[in-house]
Chains A and B, each alone.
Chain A
Amino acid sequence: MDLQTMTYLVVGLSFAIYIGIAFWARAKTTGDFYVAGKGVHPVSNGMATAADWMSAASFISMAGLIAFNGYGASVFLMGWTGGYVLLAMLLAPYLRKFGKYTVPEFIGDRYYSRTARIVAVICLILASITYVIGQMKGIGVAFSRFLETSYEMGLYIGMGVVFIYAVMGGMKGITYTQIAQYVILIFAYTVPAVFISLSLTGVALPQLGLGADMSGTSMSMLDKLDLVVGELGFKEYSTQVMGSKLNMFVYTMSLMIGTAGLPHVIMRFFTVPKVKDARATAGWALVFIAILYTTAPAVGAMARLNLMETIQVGEVGTVEGNLAYDDRPQWFKNWETTGLLQFEDKNGDGRIQYYNDKDETFAAKAESYGWKGNEMVKVDRDIMVLANPEIAKLPNWVIALVVAGGLAAALSTAAGLLLAIASSISHDLLKGVFMPSISEKAELLAGRIAMAAAIAMAGYFGLHPPDFAAGTVAIAFGLAAASIFPALMMGIFNKRANRAGAIWGMIAGISVTMLYVFQHKGIMFVPGTDFLGDMGANWFFGISPNAFGAVGAVVNFAVAIIVSKLTSPPPEHIQHLVEDIRVPAGAGAATGH
């Protein structure tokens, strides 16, 4: 069977499974099966949380960034896992004890203020929309490859599918569908990794394969990679930093605290049966996430090695050392169709020279070979995971499976976020603040309109995403880190934190972060609207805009503490509320989905 048919078949089959399970679980729900989230074991809940959490950024984009940034990309690996430690210890159990439905609801109650609730909603919407833009990029890449069309066309089709998927809604709220999505996603991610690890090193487990010797040699896989990229002027894989050490530190911190501030993950902890389960669920979620996250470094490194060796077939500097363009493999042609991979024969020799022309020493050497610049003018990082099994010449069913897995990851998270946006607008803003008497039907309709608007907006910005999928998502984490996390944490750990402190803290934190991001990337990421262009990139201690959320969080904490000190303490009943959420005893039944 040819690849295209196989892909349709596997993607179709995976969707049939999700819909089938949704249908089966729904039938049971009516039979009092699912009341108040009872009966969902922390292991199942953790798995569903993991599916919800791992998006196009984790599945499609991250390993590609690892492939090209090597050690520098560790910020994503540590940032997106370490955040669960903060979530488990600083927020989840207490928010569960509090027992309401949304994050702004907690902020509104704890800070006894509708204004605080509205500010929280706005912060959440900004972070979530940015997050969805990142997903759209991933979805566009997956669909353009899957349907063999341009990235733009893939994006438009993807927008339509996401809309249908999210509006069907019910499918999403059901834990068992997400468990199925997790199983497909993790299977799709690890199978090619095992195949490639076996063929390169003879070790099946990718986590060990990455540290093993290359088959038939005594050179380790990572040393080999350092050598191969070094020969073409690229930075040493295992030591190259992202920006600077300080930038990596701040970047990691930003992703960690952003993880603990994003609504769609926190919401899951509101619905576990007990406080005790909130702690265990965080642990299990991280176990299931760690399976992918510890595999990703191997996927990235091995994809890079295979890519380099596909193009640089022989010794550097010899004519035959470079692959002739006419001999390029099928995957190369497929990705050229999408426009995400581009070759330009700069020296007109009909062969592909792929090297780092920014490295001056090597560029001089390359000139003596008759090379006239790097000819792989575009290698979009986000194609690496999807292209990886093709580059490694794995069987068609594996390639098809990876497409299905990527779509599962992107769609489940996009849908989850869209639901979070919809509930913020319809539940927190309309029903909670502006129109308390709104009917349930109108609330639902408002939610759907909000969802459609969010998709249209995210799709529009997805045409010119500010960064690769994972980079865009990182900005979303920065926004959440700078606004929501400090307000939540102080709400629990600092009894003195009051209304004015929280409001000004959130406003200061998110403003500082947005100013820095937009100054670099344009207002709402529209190209050409970046301002203060003459200040130089990353002018604040070399910190990149993607990493700036941690700085915003520090500003938020500082402003909140100072303002709280200068204004009157929270009323008596709020102090009791804080004391009450600190102990598990007396937790009410979980809020229903």
Chain B
Amino acid sequence: MSERASYWKANIRLVTGCLIVWFIVSFGFGIILAEPLNNISLGGYKLGFWFAQQGSIYTFVFLIFFYAWRMNKLDRKFNVHED
């Protein structure tokens, strides 16, 4: 497999992983599983409610920086970075 094809494959793998987390914290914990999670409390928050209005947003921020960091490493590894 060519360098570029393996770079693209690694990229897809990384993005897929990130998007699974993205889906779980928002659609999963924040919506689909909100009721059962609401039985657990986090401070004065019900956990499902917290994920929907706070937790998912924090996770999104983390995900983008994690992705950017890993992508920059991939760029160098496969020697496709700029400059």
Contacts of B32 in A (CB 8 A): 245, 249
A89 within 8 A of B: yes
A110 within 8 A of B: no
Known A-B contacts A210-B45, A222-B44; the reply to A583 vs B58 at CB < 8 A is no
Known A-B contacts A249-B27, A584-B82; the reply to A294 vs B43 at CB < 8 A is no
Known A-B contacts A249-B32, A252-B27; the reply to A85 vs B82 at CB < 8 A is no
Q: Report the bound CA distance from A275 to B72 in whole Å.
A: 10
Residue-wise, chain A 219-253 has the 8 Å CB interface mask toward B (1 for contact) of 01111000000000000001100000100110011
Verify A222–B49 contact, CB threshold 8 A. yes
Most buried by A among B27, B43, B50, B57: B57
Verify B49–A584 contact, CB threshold 8 A. no
Verify B67–A279 contact, CB threshold 8 A. yes
Verify A88–B64 contact, CB threshold 8 A. yes
Contacts of A71 in B (CB 8 A): 34, 49, 52-53
Verify A74–B53 contact, CB threshold 8 A. yes
A554 within 8 A of B: no
Q: Report the bound CA distance from A245 to B36 in whole Å.
A: 14
B contact face: mostly helix, strand, loop, or mixed:
helix
Within 8 A of A (CB), among B55-83: 56-58, 60-61, 63-65, 67-68, 71-72, 75, 79-82
Verify A82–B75 contact, CB threshold 8 A. no
Task: Quote the shortest CB–CB distance from B57 to chain A (angstroms).
Answer: 5
Verify A85–B57 contact, CB threshold 8 A. no
Verify B54–A89 contact, CB threshold 8 A. no
Q: Report the bound CA distance from A287 to B68 in whole Å.
A: 14
Q: Report the bound CA distance from A294 to B42 in whole Å.
A: 16
Which of A85, A239, A274, A275 is close to B63, meaning CB atoms less than 8 Å apart?
Answer: A85
Contacts of B60 in A (CB 8 A): 81-82, 84-85, 286, 290
B13 within 8 A of A: no
Residue-wise, chain B 12-56 has the 8 Å CB interface mask toward A (1 for contact) of 000100110010001100111011001000111110011011101
Task: Quote the shortest CB–CB distance from A526 to chain B (angstroms).
Answer: 34
Which of A89, A207, A208, A287 is close to B19, meaning CB atoms less than 8 Å apart?
Answer: A89
Verify B22–A82 contact, CB threshold 8 A. yes
Told that A211-B42, A245-B32, A585-B79 touch, could you supply 7 new A-B pairs with CB distance under 8 A? A85-B19, A212-B44, A282-B64, A290-B57, A294-B57, A584-B75, A586-B82
A residues whose Cβ falls under 8 Å from a Cβ of B: 66, 71, 74, 77-78, 81-82, 84-86, 88-90, 93, 207-208, 210-213, 220-223, 238-239, 245, 248-249, 252-253, 274-276, 279-280, 282-283, 286-287, 290, 293-294, 297, 579, 582-587
Residue contacts A-B, CB under 8 angstroms, 17 given: A71-B34, A71-B52, A77-B56, A78-B52, A78-B56, A81-B57, A85-B19, A88-B68, A89-B64, A93-B71, A221-B44, A238-B46, A248-B31, A274-B82, A279-B68, A283-B64, A294-B58
